[in-house]
Amino acid sequence: MIKLISLFLLALSFSSMAKQSGKILLDQKYGPHVRQAFDLWLPKTKGKSPLVIYIHGGGWVMGSKDEFRKKPIIKKYLQSGIAVAAINYRFLKHAPLQKILREDIAGFVQFMRHHSNKYKIKKEYIMSHGFSAGGSGSLWLATHDDIADPHSKNPIKKESSRILAAGHLSAQVSYDFVDWYDYFSQEEVDKFVGDQMWTRYHLKSKDDLFTAKGEEIRRDVDMYENISSDDAPVIFWNGLKDIKSPDGNHFMHSPKHAKLLYERTQEVGLKAKIILDGNKSQKSDVFLEVYKFFIQRIKKKPKITSIIGID
């Protein structure tokens, strides 16, 4: 009975969104792997629409795009003429993190740009956000150099991976875990990160992090060091108390990650906003805060001038 009620409520939710949506496409594919799938909600508009991407969390080992389907914020985006996508991506058992970021996270952005006419998406107005892994993936998109390859035989790979804005929600400071020793105590890093420091990249030992290959990977996934003034603006949000971490979950999502990143944006001159609500005094609606931040970016003329193939 409970399951039937849940299905009924989900159906009502989709029915309500359908009134605002030009089309709802669930479980679509952007790659050959079973996990490379996405949901897409398109607004009722005659022209092309901005696109907001949601990337789920789960430490790159679990989670699903389906968690986003019931979120009321989808309807608000559609009412504003903005398309919404939620994606799955491969887990660490399928591929190393550096490949997931390039081929799945950035790959989906490139996929949507290549199919912008099909889905009526404005290429220059693509934004991304998410919690934990999803927030860090979004920050990686915002701070990483464009991975577009104009010489590729694959037309999708010729598209830009750059985005207009990002939402970093209770996420991590960087994926170069060696640098975490500069941000946190050695005891905390060794205890709460442990062998993830190298296994996330499918390396065999900590020593591999200091080889030419390891250092190349670390540079590639170091969002903190890669932040520059010409990157996409970022909203940082964290709802945990700013205390000494009692466990791994708090440590990996501590507000210190957001504070370090925000301070870095201010040093380099990148536009950013931070909301720390660990004491619940603001009682902020995180999705609404991201929505307002993205709307502000959409209203301004994009500064992305290097995107390949913009209409």
User: Cβ atoms within 10 A of the Cβ of 202, count?
Assistant: 15
201-207: long-range contacts, CB 8 A cutoff, minimum separation 24: 201/96, 201/97, 201/98, 202/92, 202/95, 202/96
Residue 9 is assigned to a structural domain of this protein = no
Q: How confident is residue 9, by pLDDT bands cut at 50, 70 and 90?
A: very low
User: Cβ atoms within 10 A of the Cβ of 30, count?
Assistant: 22
Sheet with 21-29: list strands edge to edge: 21-29, 37-43, 83-87, 49-55, 121-131, 165-169, 234-238, 272-276
Q: How confident is residue 38, by pLDDT bands cut at 50, 70 and 90?
A: very high
Residue 12 is assigned to a structural domain of this protein = no
pLDDT at 281: 66
pLDDT at 280: 73
Residue 46 is assigned to a structural domain of this protein = yes
Decide if 39 contacts 25 (C-beta within 8 A).
yes
Residue 215 sits in which domain range? 20-297
SS3 129: strand
The per-residue pLDDT for range 43-66, each reduced to its tens digit, is 999 899 999 999 999 999 999 999
Residue 184 maps to which CATH number?
3.40.50.1820
**Two tokens at 233?**
């603006």
pLDDT at 46: 87
The per-residue pLDDT for range 93-152, each reduced to its tens digit, is 999 999 999 999 999 999 999 999 999 999 999 999 999 999 999 999 999 999 999 999
pLDDT at 209: 98
Sequence letter at residue 132: S
Residue 305 is assigned to a structural domain of this protein = no
Residues 6+ apart with CB under 8 A from 5: none
State how many domains the chain has: 1
Residue 7 is assigned to a structural domain of this protein = no
What pTM was estimated for this model as a whole? Answer: 0.91
The per-residue pLDDT for range 75-90, each reduced to its tens digit, is 999 999 999 999 999 9
Q: How confident is residue 279, by pLDDT bands cut at 50, 70 and 90?
A: confident
Decide if 235 contacts 167 (C-beta within 8 A).
yes
Residue 124 is assigned to a structural domain of this protein = yes
Q: Residues of the chain with pLDDT > 90: what percent?
A: 86
pLDDT at 197: 98
